[in-house]
Amino acid sequence: MRFTLQREVLLKPLQQVVNVVERRQTMPVLANLLVSVKDNVLSVTASDTEVELVARCNLDGAEDGETTIPARKWFDIVRALPDGSQVTVKLNGDRITVSAGRSRFVLSTLPAEDFPSSDELEVVERVSLTESVVKELIERTAFAMAQQDVRFYLNGLLFDLSESNLRCVATDGHRLALCEAAIPTGAQSRKQIILPRKGVLELQRLLEGSDVELELELGRSHVRARRSDVMFTSKLIDGRFPDYEAVIPIGADKLVKVDRELLRSALQRASILSNEKYKGVKLEVSPDQLRVTAHNPEQEEATEEIEAETPVDGVAIGFNVGYLMEAIAALRGEHIILQLRDANSSALVREVDSEACRHVVMPLRL
């Protein structure tokens, strides 16, 4: 195996896959990248047995072959080389030589046969949609995923596919984020899959937000996303996601329209004096005004008053300020709507002229 590439061209596939490689592995070969050259195409594969990424690029005059190369060392070497340098990678027995100009590095390899091969995906559904749509859906919901919750099905993102649209939903039991988009080719029947947290973060990092078509292949236990230069495969969480539609509050008829940036800034300042453990702030609504207050055990207090379009009077609700700020940050537009009911009910936070993106935040007793 032998090939030569410009540093920047080689760096791109390495950057796309290297984050999949875990610092601690169950198998030594998982610390390496599977590198294959065939018919002047370079394929670089990283896997942790849960998530697999394959990046490809074209070569000229390369010699075919395959091996596995230490992922972090190879990536760090290429990244540290001067811009514009020509990098030559050559396999000699069980050693790989990486050379550029007067720099030369010799790395040990492991046999390609030791690298775990991905299972053949039994595709039950295939849909095409643009990268920008998927990236937007993930960015506006993924923050609400649980982290290491015993309810393992919450440690991921639900993809709810119907005949006409795709919804992404995440919840950690304290807040819920939902975002949906119409897609030209929907599923033949409704499908729900839960992508694990690591898979979500890798897919989000990989997507460039362009109008390039992304092909999603759904299997019984895996999902695969294909683009011309990269292929992402992840195992799915085998569990049943809660009935999220039942969580969206009904009868939250007290509407408060407020400037999104004004509210975000007020919450940020008030949170400085909130209780470090509970991070609670209280929202008090009166006609055309929203008051944000925070207290802490040292008897310190923050009060912020901002203008709001609302006829509501005498409603006061406590929230975790972090949850509220993340929900607001995921919305677009100059103004947002808070839909409230009473001090013990969840609030719905959404955009003024669209219900495509909705966030539910549970109340906090202060």
Residue spans in the chain of domains classed CATH 3.10.150.10:
2-114, 123-245, 248-361
Q: CB-based contacts of 52: which residues, under 8 Å, 6+ apart?
A: 20, 45, 46, 118, 232, 233, 234
237 has pLDDT over 80:
yes
| pLDDT tens digit sequence for 164-183 | 899 999 999 999 999 999 98
Indicate the burial class of 326 (C-beta count within 10 angstroms; 0-12, 13-18, 19 or more).
Answer: middle
Higher pLDDT, 96 or 128: 96
Per-residue pLDDT, averaged over 4-14, amounts to 96
For residue 277, the model assigns a pLDDT of 87
| pLDDT tens digit sequence for 189-219 | 889 999 999 999 999 999 987 889 999 999 8
Per-residue pLDDT, averaged over 271-292, amounts to 94
What does the DSSP assignment read for 148-183? S-SSGGGSEEEEEE-SSEEEEEEE-SSEEEEEEEE-
Q: Does the structural domain 2-114 have CATH classification 3.30.590.10?
A: no
248-361: CATH topology is DNA Polymerase III; Chain A, domain 2 (3.10.150)
Extract the tokens encoding 148: 């290491």
Burial 215-242 (b: 16+ CB within 10 A, else e): ebbbbeebbbbbbeebbbbbbbbeeebb
pTM: 0.91
For residue 297, the model assigns a pLDDT of 93
Consecutive H or E run containing 72: helix 71-80
366 has pLDDT over 80:
no
Residue 257 banded pLDDT, cuts 50, 70, 90: very high
| pLDDT tens digit sequence for 238-251 | 999 999 999 999 88
For residue 183, the model assigns a pLDDT of 86
The Cα 100–Cα 87 span in angstroms is: 5
What is the phi-psi region of residue 49: left when phi exceeds 0, alpha when psi lies from -120 to 50, beta otherwise? left
CB 278 within 8 A of CB 362: no
CB 191 within 8 A of CB 223: no
Per-residue pLDDT, averaged over 68-78, amounts to 97
Mean pLDDT of the chain: 94
User: Tokens 């643009």 identify what position?
Assistant: 130
For residue 279, the model assigns a pLDDT of 92
| pLDDT tens digit sequence for 307-340 | 999 999 999 999 999 999 999 999 999 999 999 9
| Cα R_g (the chain), whole angstroms | 25
Extract the tokens encoding 284: 């008090």
Q: Per the CATH hierarchy, to which homologous superfamily does domain 123-245 belong?
A: DNA Polymerase III, subunit A, domain 2 (3.10.150.10)
25 has pLDDT over 90:
no
Q: What percent of the chain has pLDDT over 90?
A: 86
